[in-house]
Amino acid sequence: MKQKIYQVDAFASALFKGNPAAVCIMESWPTDVLMQDIAMENNLSETAFVVKNEERYDIRWFTPGVEVDLCGHATLASAFVLFTFHEPEAEKLAFFSHRSGPLSVLRLSDGSLSLNFPADTIAQVDPLAELNQAMGITPQKTYKGKTDIMLIYRSQTEIEALQPNFFLMKSLPVRGVIATAPGQDVDFVSRFFAPQSGVDEDPVTGSAHTTLTPYWSAELDKELLFARQLSQRGGDLMCRMMGDRVEITGKAKLYLEGEINI
């Protein structure tokens, strides 16, 4: 059987920037094993699978190693594919994740796409000695969200200098680790490490900004924030705190359109 597949650079205003995600728009759900195999074969940080369900689109996300609860850049990539090839007249798309509930994506007049995601609930926790050892630089504060640990550092320079020990980090019982600090020319910067999920460093992580935005919104007393993820590819995001929801906005570029044999 042949299946259409797309690869999209998400949170990118130009090709080869942002975070690449694969997208498969399916007629019906394949087996979990097949979806995991496709994600492993793609070897991207995320592959999204989407099935239309009446007026909404059900969505699931897989890294090369596991299914995850929420993924921002692959949802943005999926919406880009649907707006471009399936719903050219639509302004808004409704998604549903069996792990994260209702999600939506709005297409703005400048071509940007705005994700509406549930805000994470975070709590400060005691420092984790093994994590601090893995990171090499001791953070000011440590927080735990639904699936990730967030480390607060003093400066963008510290975030840029991080060279984590992924072998040590891999044993932690979390999806990933967010490292963040105030930005030099944006409100905050971050990096995201997830060797536990098969991705040592993710280029741009939309879902991590559901954790980052509540923290920095309170810390800076701002509803609208500009963020940058400091990976090699890099990515810029606009984040807005909206009660118990977070709006995350960015652009996307189509890199590949093809077929896979399954």
Q: Which of 244, 235, 250, 185 is nearest to 214 (CA)?
A: 244
Close Cβ partners of 233 (under 8 Å, ≥ 6 residues apart): 12, 16, 17, 18, 19, 203, 204
Domains held by the chain: number: 2
Do 186 and 228 touch, CB atoms closer than 8 A?
yes
User: 143 and 38, same structural domain?
Assistant: no
How high is the pLDDT of residue 173? 86
**Residue 195 to residue 172: CA distance in whole angstroms:** 9
Q: What is the DSSP letter of 207?
A: T
User: 13 and 64, same structural domain?
Assistant: yes
Quote the pTM value.
Answer: 0.93
Close Cβ partners of 64 (under 8 Å, ≥ 6 residues apart): 39, 40, 42, 43, 44, 198, 199
User: 254 and 205, same structural domain?
Assistant: no
Here the tokens at position 138 are: 């001791």
- Range of the structural domain that residue 82 is part of: 2-118+248-261
User: 173 and 138, same structural domain?
Assistant: yes
Mean pLDDT by 10 residues, the chain (262 residues): 97 95 97 98 97 97 95 97 97 97 97 97 95 96 96 98 95 93 98 92 96 98 98 94 97 97 94
User: 138 and 107, same structural domain?
Assistant: no
User: 144 and 48, same structural domain?
Assistant: no
Domain CATH for 7:
3.10.310.10
Catalytic residue among 27, 41, 46, 130: 46
User: 74 and 111, same structural domain?
Assistant: yes
User: 221 and 109, same structural domain?
Assistant: no
Annotated catalytic, 55? Answer: no
Q: What is the DSSP letter of 120?
A: P
User: 135 and 241, same structural domain?
Assistant: yes
User: 129 and 53, same structural domain?
Assistant: no
How high is the pLDDT of residue 119? 97
**Residue 48 to residue 25: CA distance in whole angstroms:** 8
